[in-house]
Amino acid sequence: MFTKTIYLLCFHRNATSPGHCLAICAYLLVITLAAGCASSAETDAPPFADIHLHFSYTHEEIITPAEAVDILKKNNVVLAVVSSEPSAYALKLSRSSNGWILPFASPYYKSGNRLNWFLDAALVGEIRKLLDSGEYAGIGEVHLTAGIGPRRDNPVFTGLLQLAREYQLPFLIHTDASNYRYFLPICSNYPDIRFIWAHAGGIFGPEDLEPIMTSCANVWLDMAARDPWHYAGLADQAGVLFPGWRKFIIRYQDRIMTGTDPVWNAQQIYRWYEADEGWDHYADFIRFHRNWLGHLPPAVAEKIRLGNAQRFFGRSSRTD
């Protein structure tokens, strides 16, 4: 299609002048070659473990599981984690990948319970059924918002924590709070649960994360959505880390992973139930993470980009 466009613009008999025609032709050819180089660079980029994907009913209105898997392959993602609303949609993406995308069981096991899941007395039992299937590799993403809910002693929330303990599964937790101390009693009171702290707490910098990493050896940080389009605060668009991050990341290099979190409605609360075009922006998200990783020592970058996830989940990468 693009080749046909070049032909029509460059060689159509109604072209205004030979010079104008050649200028258009040269410009379009440069764009074509650049696009080809960019596509090749993404495919040839170092392998990447994306531990924070979503594929929900709002995504499937725009993209199929097979198309999403194809995007991951084109960006050389070789291991991934997905959580969805409802949870069954995580299985759709996982099955399309032949197993290298690991599905998590989220509390949003049915559509429409995202805002009040912690009031559902049947939820823990429903999640237990999902885990009994043996198809889910973890629990999450579980959202807690200070002042809104759930409380940290909410029986539905603590019931999910007990399931993680019983089934010995990692727990992907998302906290929205103004202080790191909100999360501290959770990770401290459940030292036998491996927590993945989504977005490294969202708004927090290294000075806020340090007490958690020091106090709770069972916490791994997930740097997804610390890009300029979501929480930001990690690096600029060129990938240059903001002050304090480089030293912190190198210190805790064995407990940091990353991902893309391909949602586009996240900061627009009234659009949560609309079709989500997040996968259309996937290349931008992963490019941001590759850029800031490129500013780290190669051995450190490799751990965060891939090695830590392989060790954490005990999984190798896809080979196809």
pLDDT tens-digit map of 80-97: 999 999 999 999 999 999
Both structure tokens of 126: 């429903």
**pLDDT band at 40, cuts 50/70/90?**
very low
Phi, psi of 259 (to 5 degrees): -170, -175
Question: What is d(CA 230, CA 216) in angstroms, rounded to the nearest whole number?
Answer: 26
Both structure tokens of 286: 């992963």
**pLDDT band at 189, cuts 50/70/90?**
very high
Which one has a higher pLDDT value, 14 or 309? 309
- Other C-beta atoms lying within 10 Å of the C-beta of residue 193: 21
Arithmetic mean of pLDDT over the chain: 87
- Lowest mean per-residue pLDDT among 54-58, 187-191, 255-259, 281-285: 54-58
Question: What is d(CA 257, CA 196) in angstroms, rounded to the nearest whole number?
Answer: 9
The pLDDT tens digits for 130-181 are 999 999 999 999 999 999 989 999 999 999 999 999 999 999 999 999 999 9
**pLDDT band at 275, cuts 50/70/90?**
confident
On whether the CB atoms of residues 62 and 72 are closer than 8 A, the answer is no
Domain boundaries defined on the chain: 2-35, 47-313
Report the top-level CATH class of 47-313: alpha beta
Of 189, 180, 237, the closest CA to residue 212 belongs to: 180
Both structure tokens of 252: 């805790």
Residue 206 has pLDDT above 90, yes or no: yes
Which one has a higher pLDDT value, 111 or 308? 308
In this prediction, residue 313 carries a pLDDT of: 97
